[in-house]
């Protein structure tokens, strides 16, 4: 049966050695890569959306999302240390649950990283266009907004996507060094925000604390709806495991990179959320039924017309600073976001290319996609292809509910990795585990349950897009990957 076409872990390691990438990343670089991927759109942009769905209760949403990620990170750390090759959840699933499930996971990760990168490109363009307008050098309206967002061609979103593509083609270590600088910029900006916002916190701003309740699975509102949305703010940590094949001493450094980056980011998120909600308030705009309006809808836009509410801002952290009277600092935080968001684009595209690189190496995608550049030692073909597609999508499409759609693929991958850990514990108990998930039979089931809970609370649009994308992937697999798979031909 296709479901049970499993690729032995030893064979996965042997395949990687035949067409391998250069190992050049250490624990610190991996941790910074993880922080660079995690801290970005979620905290700089989606804070307002989380407030609209959950009010001050968005802090609980950050905690819930962080807990689910932490549980999944422990599972990721065990498998990444055991199988230190490119491909992340796709590779792990291939070695445990079989080729069909691996294809579904790899295809879903393409949805996660590709849409995620395009979302951040559009977010970066919004910040940059705002800065240009403030200095009276704005681009024509036709070039500021994508076609499907009521404009023409988002030029800046397109250009930043291409710029990151060039950086990734040049080399991973160069990308990591640039990313380290951008991470420092983000950390400084968020630290300044925390020190200025927290002293201004007022207890009255936390009342009511849960204006949207815990959530409605059909509408994606409340605390759980917010957690499902801002889960996007954490997904970058799993991109660390996609760099396993390019990591020095992966058995030690991958777990450090995964858990270290997630811990640092969670602390910052909680402090920023507390400072934002407590200093200026994060009460949602309510509809006629007394419930929070859905972000991104005409009703929400009408309610926000002329409003200074935090939940209406497209640059929430800078907006908080201005409301507190720190106009110049607000401007600088906006500039920090402009500088920082490209690092998130970089890691989203990095993860996308490494997963499709590995799928190509396994024969599930055309072999040309796994070619490695002779000089830069990077998978340049798939990197260029991914960059072009991401850039074009960013130039044409609006952000909308794309973050939720990106999350749907991530949640599936996290659940499969957690299941894979338990299966391997039973099937191969003697295999060396440089890092063992503590209390695996408790942690992994909780990770699966958490992923399912958040998936249920995603918007209906995200669920529909996910199912459609999965169906397209199954058609492609049956038409190409099923017959061309190296594992299938080997066993023929």
- 433 assigned to some structural domain: yes
| Whether the Cβ atoms of residue 159 and residue 165 lie closer than 8 Å to each other | no
> What was the pLDDT predicted at 259?
78
- 150 assigned to some structural domain: no
Q: Among 87-96, 147-156, 308-317, 351-360, which stretch is predicted with the lowest mean pLDDT? A: 87-96
Tell me the DSSP string of 233-301: GTGGGGHHHHTGGGBSSHHHHHHHHHHHHHHHHHHHHHHHHHHHHHHH--PPPB-TTSSBPPTTSHHHH
- 66 assigned to some structural domain: yes
> What was the pLDDT predicted at 449?
95
pLDDT band at residue 2 under the 50/70/90 scheme: very low
Cα gap 126→315, rounded to integer Å:
9
Over residues 335-380, the pLDDT tens digits come to 888 887 887 788 788 878 888 888 888 888 888 887 887 787 788 8
| Whether the Cβ atoms of residue 349 and residue 315 lie closer than 8 Å to each other | no
Report the domain count for the chain: 1
Mean pLDDT across 307-317? 81
216 secondary structure, DSSP code: B
> What was the pLDDT predicted at 317?
87
Domain containing residue 377: CATH number: 1.20.1740.10
- 144 assigned to some structural domain: no
Residue 480 has pLDDT above 90, yes or no: no
Cα gap 335→46, rounded to integer Å:
17
Mean pLDDT across 157-178? 80
Neighbour tally for 18: CB within 10 Å: 7
pLDDT band at residue 17 under the 50/70/90 scheme: low
Range(s) of the domain holding residue 73 = 20-132+155-283+293-388+400-487
pLDDT top residue among 23 and 213 = 213
Cα gap 77→97, rounded to integer Å:
18
* pTM over 0.85, yes/no: no
Q: What's the chain's average pLDDT?
A: 80
Q: Residue 426 class from Cβ within 10 Å (0-12 exposed, 13-18 middle, 19+ buried)?
A: exposed
List Cα–Cα distances, 274 to 46, 194, 256, 277, 284, in angstroms: 15, 9, 27, 5, 16
Mean pLDDT across 461-489? 84
Residue 39 has pLDDT above 80, yes or no: no
Q: What angle do CA 55, 60, 65 make, to 5 degrees?
A: 115
> What was the pLDDT predicted at 1?
41
Over residues 191-222, the pLDDT tens digits come to 999 999 999 998 888 888 888 788 766 666 78
Element (H, E) at 350: helix 327-361
Mean pLDDT across 411-424? 87
Cα gap 53→235, rounded to integer Å:
20
> What was the pLDDT predicted at 342?
82
> What was the pLDDT predicted at 15?
58
Q: Among 111-120, 134-143, 160-169, 172-181, which stretch is predicted with the lowest mean pLDDT? A: 172-181
Cα gap 148→141, rounded to integer Å:
14
Neighbour tally for 180: CB within 10 Å: 16
Could you give the percent of the chain with pLDDT greater than 90? 10
User: Tokens at residue 349, please?
Assistant: 């595209």
Neighbour tally for 228: CB within 10 Å: 31
452: nearest Cα among 483, 416, 403, 406 = 416
- 239 assigned to some structural domain: yes
- 381 assigned to some structural domain: yes
| Whether the Cβ atoms of residue 180 and residue 23 lie closer than 8 Å to each other | no
- 207 assigned to some structural domain: yes
Q: What angle do CA 231, 451, 8 make, to 5 degrees?
A: 115
Q: Is 404 helix (H, G, I), strand (E, B) or coil?
A: helix
Residue 130 has pLDDT above 80, yes or no: no
Neighbour tally for 474: CB within 10 Å: 16
94 phi, psi to nearest 5 deg = -60, -40
- 226 assigned to some structural domain: yes
List Cα–Cα distances, 486 to 124, 265, 345, 362, 475, in angstroms: 40, 39, 32, 6, 19
pLDDT band at residue 19 under the 50/70/90 scheme: low
């Amino acid at each position: 049966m296709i479901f049970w076409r499993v690729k032995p872990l030893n064979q996965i390691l042997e395949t990687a050695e035949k067409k391998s990438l250069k190992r050049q990343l250490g624990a610190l670089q991996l941790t910074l890569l993880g922080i660079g991927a995690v801290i970005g759109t979620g905290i700089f942009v989606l804070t307002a959306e989380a407030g609209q769905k959950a009010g001050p209760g968005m802090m609980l949403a950050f905690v819930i999302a962080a807990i689910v990620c932490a549980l999944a990170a422990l599972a990721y750390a065990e498998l990444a240390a055991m199988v230190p090759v490119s491909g992340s959840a796709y590779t792990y699933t291939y070695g445990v649950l079989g080729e069909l499930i691996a294809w579904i996971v790899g295809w879903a990760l393409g949805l996660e990283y590709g849409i995620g990168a395009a979302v951040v490109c559009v977010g970066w363009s919004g910040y940059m266009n705002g800065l240009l307008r403030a200095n009276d050098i704005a681009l024509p309206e036709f070039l500021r907004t994508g076609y499907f967002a009521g404009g023409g061609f988002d030029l800046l979103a397109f250009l930043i996507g291409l710029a990151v593509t060039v950086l990734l083609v040049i080399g991973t270590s160069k990308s990591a060094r640039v990313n380290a600088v951008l991470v420092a910029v983000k950390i400084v900006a968020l630290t300044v925000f925390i020190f200025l916002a927290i002293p201004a916190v007022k207890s009255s701003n936390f009342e009511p604390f849960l204006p949207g309740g815990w959530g409605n699975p059909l509408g994606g509102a409340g605390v759980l709806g917010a957690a499902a949305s801002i889960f996007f703010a954490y997904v970058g940590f799993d991109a660390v495991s996609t760099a396993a094949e390019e990591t020095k001493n992966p058995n030690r450094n991958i777990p450090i990179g995964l858990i270290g980056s997630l811990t640092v980011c969670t602390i910052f998120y909680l402090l920023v959320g507390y400072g934002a909600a407590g200093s200026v308030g994060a009460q949602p705009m309510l509809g006629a039924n007394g419930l929070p309006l859905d972000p991104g809808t005409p009703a929400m836009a009408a309610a926000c017309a002329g409003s200074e509410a935090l939940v209406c801002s497209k640059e929430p952290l800078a907006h908080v600073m201005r409301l507190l009277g720190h106009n110049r600092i607000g401007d600088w935080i906006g500039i920090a976001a402009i500088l920082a968001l490209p690092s998130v684009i970089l890691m989203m595209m990095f993860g996308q290319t490494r997963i499709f690189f590995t799928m190509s190496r396994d024969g599930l995608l055309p072999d040309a996609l796994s070619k490695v550049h002779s000089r830069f030692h990077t998978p340049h073909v798939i990197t260029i292809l991914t960059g072009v597609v991401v850039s074009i999508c960013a130039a044409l499409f609006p952000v909308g509910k794309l973050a939720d759609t990106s999350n749907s693929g991530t949640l599936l991958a996290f659940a499969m990795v957690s299941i894979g850990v338990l299966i391997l514990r039973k099937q191969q108990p003697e295999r060396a585990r440089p890092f063992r998930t503590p209390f695996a039979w408790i942690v992994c089931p909780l990770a699966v349950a958490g992923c399912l809970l958040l998936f249920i609370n995603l918007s209906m649009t995200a669920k529909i897009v996910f199912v459609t994308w999965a169906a397209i992937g199954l058609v492609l697999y049956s038409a190409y990957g099923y017959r061309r798979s190296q594992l299938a031909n080997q066993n023929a």
